[in-house]
Amino acid sequence: MALAGEFLRRGRRVMTLKHGHHPADADRVGSDTWRHFHEGPAERTLIAGPEVRVLYERTPDDYDPVGLARRYLGGADIILAEGFSRAPLPKVEVFRRAVAAAPIHDDDGQDRSRWLAVVTDDEDLRAECPVLRFRDTMWLQLLANLAWDGALILPA
């Protein structure tokens, strides 16, 4: 997450939000901390270890990133979300030709007005939003400026 590092370098308080398509598994099956959540009826389990805490919570599948940010990520200067492609959030795509045949940005079903930029290694890619290339020496600084200026502001 180079972008998070760039915001930290700028003195910003950064938090991230990741959409997963499978249950989170941050501990070894059968360990005491794993059993705290998986074998008990607790609504929430907080696992605290050296330099990290993990909160497990039983909840209906609510993938609203704005609601999740409000509930868990208060106090951030900026929240970087990965996934949530259908949510009405400002978007940046990292497109690598070795990973996909075409960028998500080209999907006709997407709201193109929310695209802030595409970062790519594809020299031929053109888009309706700024296209930043990994070969450009300032791509990360430019992306941070675009993301900061285009961020969704959550009312208090």
Domains within the chain, CATH numbers bracketed: 1-19+63-156 (3.40.50.300), 20-62 (no CATH)
Confidence label for 156 from pLDDT (cuts 50, 70 and 90): low
Radius of gyration of the chain, Cα coordinates, nearest whole angstrom:
18
Q: What is the pLDDT of residues 29-60, one digit of tens each?
A: 888 877 888 787 888 888 888 998 888 888 87
Q: How far apart are CA 8 and CA 115, in angstroms?
A: 23
What the block records as the tokens of 108 is 């006709």
CA angle 41, 19, 58 (to 5 degrees): 10
Q: Do residues 128 and 115 lie in contact, with contact meaning Cβ atoms separated by under 8 Å?
A: yes
Residue 104: per-residue pLDDT: 86
pTM of the model: 0.85
Max Cα distance, the chain (Å): 54
Q: How far apart are CA 95 and CA 80, in angstroms?
A: 17
Q: How far apart are CA 109 and CA 119, in angstroms?
A: 20
pLDDT at 108 over 60: no
**Per-residue pLDDT averaged across 119-125, rounded?**
95
**C-alpha distances in Å from residue 48, one per residue of 1, 25, 33, 107, 125:** 24, 15, 9, 41, 45
Cβ within 8 Å of residue 7, ≥6 positions away = 14, 77, 78, 80, 144, 148
- What are 51-56's contacts with CB under 8 Å, separation 24+? 54/26, 54/27, 56/24
The DSSP letter of residue 155 is: P
Q: What is the pLDDT of residues 137-147, one digit of tens each?
A: 999 999 999 99
Lowest average pLDDT, out of 6-20, 56-70, 127-141, goes to 56-70
